[in-house]
Amino acid sequence: MDKQPTSRTCFLCGRENDIGLKMTWYNDYEAQQVWAEVVVPERFNGYPGIVHGGIVATLLDETSGRALMLNGKYDEMFITTKLEVKYHQPTPTGQVLRVFGSIIKRNSRFARVAGEIRLADGTVTARCEAAVARPPRRFFALSGWEKEQIHWRVD
């Protein structure tokens, strides 16, 4: 299994983001999915002991979108245009969570992807489906990505 690249400042994967989760994703080519493990600290709760729903959605959004990098094209970026999250049960803070992402359908400009969060025993706490699109070239210039791209790497 190969590691996927991470950035400097992303909330989820940023190596230099002091409040971020510093996640790493892995490509599972046999299962045709990506996965990561994370322990969400209590400071990101909604209720005590429960991960805030916005953080749950963030984990699913990033992980489902990263499934598009299973082809090894790590600079082929997409952005989310629609995210539908189904919360099955509360997601606990302070416990190891495994997050999975997979591709439902893909073409050169658009895709549908899916994500899932599971507890250590396999219980699903939340799922998502998302529509993603390749942004126009000008997006990268406006976002500052061109300067940041040199920091997008596998450690």
pLDDT tens, position by position, for the chain (155 residues)?
Answer: 799 999 999 999 999 999 999 999 999 999 999 999 999 999 999 999 999 999 999 999 999 999 999 998 887 789 999 999 999 999 999 999 999 999 999 998 999 999 999 999 999 999 999 999 998 877 766 676 677 777 778 88
Asked, for residue 17, whether it belongs to a domain, the answer is no
Asked, for residue 58, whether it belongs to a domain, the answer is yes
Asked, for residue 33, whether it belongs to a domain, the answer is yes
Range of the domain at 72: 27-147
Instruction: Please state, in angstroms and rounded to a whole number, the distance separating the CA atoms of residues 36 and 26.
Output: 6
Radius of gyration of the chain from its Cα atoms, rounded to whole angstroms: 15
Asked, for residue 14, whether it belongs to a domain, the answer is no
Asked, for residue 4, whether it belongs to a domain, the answer is no
Report pLDDT for 138: 76
In the numeric block, the tokens 């596998």 are attached to: 154
Count Cβ atoms within 10 A of the Cβ of residue 75 and give its class: 0-12 exposed, 13-18 middle, 19 or more buried.
exposed
Report pLDDT for 144: 67
Asked, for residue 15, whether it belongs to a domain, the answer is no
Report pLDDT for 148: 74
CATH of the domain at 37: 3.10.129.10
Asked, for residue 16, whether it belongs to a domain, the answer is no
C-beta separation of 138 from 146 below 8 A: no
Q: CB 64: neighbour CB atoms within 10 A?
A: 30
Instruction: Please state, in angstroms and rounded to a whole number, the distance separating the CA atoms of residues 71 and 141.
Output: 24
Report pLDDT for 142: 66
Total domains present in the chain: 1
CA trace torsion 56, 9, 150, 107 (10° rounding): 20
Asked, for residue 80, whether it belongs to a domain, the answer is yes
